Structure 1
Amino acid sequence: MEYQFIKDPLFGIRVRMSDEHSLIGRWLSDEIGNARLAEVFAWIAKIKQGQDTVVDAGREVRLTLNRDEALFEAHALFFNDDSQLDEYRDDALNFADEGLHAACGFEDFCALLEDFQQFCQGR
């Protein structure tokens, strides 16, 4: 998993990742940032101490964390009301779920967060 941290003067610290993992970067940039990083490390500690799963609903992205992986799912995946989409059916739009879910291994997730923390602290 490749990533790059960027200090943006307008938007703060941003995480750039490959398309496959872009949702993870968005989650870390927009929902966690430096402010909630300690909370995420607490979730990791719970998993390492034997808790099976930690789930965080988030504002736009749900994280499901377990010993094997970190699974990220945009809330848009759980949108069940198609009535609002009916007006667009004639436009032949493709409502793909690309970019709405991503996953990485637990160890890769831990490494990403440690690197992010170091970047936030200016190391």
Structure 2
Amino acid sequence: MARTLDVLSTKTTFLVLRECFYGTTRFEDFVSRTSASAPAVSRALRQLEDAQIVARVPYREQGSRTRHAYELTTAGEDLLPVFLALMEWGDAHLQHGSGPLAFYDRRTRRRLRIHVAPGP
């Protein structure tokens, strides 16, 4: 757990990772959506890349130089339940009223909750 917290040690890193889960991939979008400074976002992305949570993927728009997008790796995707659990805990213990987001099963339309269950 301590090593995980070392990787996710700053608010900016959490916000950048949150944006990855929302589908954000471009540096400029991370800066605008997190309201963090460009150097802070750059450090967060580097830290997430070093931990193999995101991977840098080159892309090029016509008439522009090659740039890099940031995509979640399998290890990054595996952090989603952790993020959802933290969100639910914050909504239950730190939020006055309901939280800003809720997740629903696409098929049943029932609200999703994170919980620990016994294995098979």
TM-score by length of 2: 0.30
Q: Which has the higher strand share?
A: 1
Larger relative contact order, structure 1 or 2 (CA cutoff 8 Å, min sep 6):
1
TM-score by length of 1: 0.30
